Amino acid sequence: MDSILEEEIYTQLKKHLNGERFEIIPQVKQSGFRIDLGIKDKTTGNFVLLIECDGHTYHSKPMYRARDIWRQSILESNGWKFERISLLQWWKGNQNKVIERVLKKIETLS
């Protein structure tokens, strides 16, 4: 994993996700892009959600943000579902809310 933020989100999701049904895969490669985390449904073998963890680099330059949004729009236009988690959301003490939001989205999409 590329950052502490990714590691923390991975660890928290692993604790709360139904491991019988879902698998968390770091550094998912799709359509020539690399995505921080993917949630894969073990029953279908399909990814239900891709997660981008927007850390310091993402927030440091507008060029990086623009590139990530462009990449996301391309993947979404091909049917992929995304969730973005920013460093600011995570570190302001909202970890539980963030995890709950992601878990609800996974259930809705699966």
Closest CA relative to residue 53, chosen from 79, 78, 88: 88
| Torsions phi, psi for 25 (to 5 deg) | -115, 120
| For residues 14-34, average pLDDT | 89
**Partners of 85 in beta bridges:** 53
pLDDT single digits (tens) 38-76: 999 999 999 999 999 887 665 567 787 788 888 889 999
Burial degree of 56 (CB within 10 A; 0-12, 13-18, 19+): exposed
Residue 19 CB contacts under 8 Å (≥ 6 apart), including other chains: none
- Catalogue all structural domains in the chain, each as residue range(s) with its CATH number: 4-105 (3.40.960.10)
Prediction pTM value: 0.85
